[in-house]
Amino acid sequence: MPYLFLGPWLLGAIGLTVAPMVVSLYLSFTDYDLFNEPQWVGLDNYAKLFGDDPRYLHSVGVTLRYVAWSVPSKLLLALAVALLLNALRGKGQAFFRSAFYAPSLLGASVGLALAWRAIFDTWVDTPDHALVTIVLLSAWQFGAPMVIFLAGLQQIPRDLFDAAAVDGAGWWRRLWSITLPMLSPVLFFNLVLETIHAFQAFTQAFVVSGGRGGPADSTLFYTLYLYERGFTEFRMGYASAMAWVLLVAIALITAVLFRTSRYWVFYGDER
């Protein structure tokens, strides 16, 4: 009976996620070009990725730079605004919460990226600044982690703050010794989620660069290069290999984050 209820979801998960993934794993070992029967080429695609494709390595560099800039700036903004809103308790908090969340709702939309393109016209067209504009665009959409931070902040028992205040702890002291440790599980959750999202970023870069990763490849995100190889050059086998390398890389990085979490994430019931 439980499987009956799970049925619709299972069908979707298997048919739309698992099966395509298995097929793409198979295709990554072939020279599939969309039109002809795929031919088995073994590890050729993978070997070429790391040995004979400077543009691929370049796209990895661009993506890492993007992740390294966009994730911290987005989380910092989200946390700062959440702290502000938390202090607002009852004084229009609901309004400001919605207002700050709005950009995230529009976030993935093409229209917004187009507007961004128009606003930062000359920046977007210079290689040294193009990536920065995309980082800004992503940081601006801090709504989702902000709401989660806010919920986390409201879970922290008031008496901790009251006790600290009685002991003479100032605002910074309370932030450092109470808020951040108590918030660390939420921070960890947001960090993992945003890191995974950042690696998969596509829409903004695609629209802002007109689908080319330009100018001069300065915004050639991993996903953009994957798309170009697959859908404009029809090298689907190669693109599939790229997708699998990305999947494994994200899994590894997430695992590393989880390993480090034991040193800095504090769950209330541990000690």
Applying CB under 8 A, the residues found at the interface with other proteins are 8, 33-36, 54, 122, 125-127, 210-212, 214-217, 231-234
To other proteins, the closest distance from the beta carbon of 19 in angstroms equals: 15
- 3 state DSSP class of 90: coil
Nearer to other proteins, 123 or 266 (CB): 123
Q: Which is nearer to other proteins, 34 or 251 (CB)?
A: 34
Q: How far apart are CA 262 and CA 135, in angstroms?
A: 29
Smallest distance, Å, CB 81 to other proteins?
33
Nearer to other proteins, 188 or 238 (CB): 238
CB 51 within 8 A of CB 244: no
> Shortest Cβ distance from residue 80 to other proteins (Å)?
33
68: helix, coil or strand? helix
Nearer to other proteins, 174 or 212 (CB): 212
User: How many whole angstroms separate alpha carbon 48 and alpha carbon 184?
Assistant: 41
**CB of 1: closest distance to other proteins in angstroms?**
9
> Measured between alpha carbons, how far apart are the two ends of the chain, in Å?
41
Query: How many C-beta neighbours within 10 Å does residue 161 have?
Result: 15
Pairwise CA distance, residues 199 & 205, whole Å:
12
CB of 18 or CB of 110, closer to other proteins = 110
Q: How far is the CB of 230 from other proteins (least distance, A)?
A: 9
Supply the minimum distance, in Å, between the C-beta of residue 212 and other proteins.
7
Residue found by looking up tokens 């993007």 in the block: 66
DSSP 178-231: IIHHHHHHHHHHHHHHHHHHHHT--HHHHHHTTTTT-STTTT--HHHHHHIIII
Least separation, in Å, of the C-beta of 223 and other proteins? 15
Please, is 207 exposed, middle or buried when counting C-beta atoms within 10 Å of its C-beta (0-12, 13-18, 19+)?
buried
Identify which of residues 36 and 159 has a Cβ nearer to other proteins in the complex: 36
Report the residue number, 76 or 216, with the smaller CB distance to other proteins.
216
Could you give the CA distance from residue 18 to residue 24 in angstroms, rounded to a whole number?
A: 10
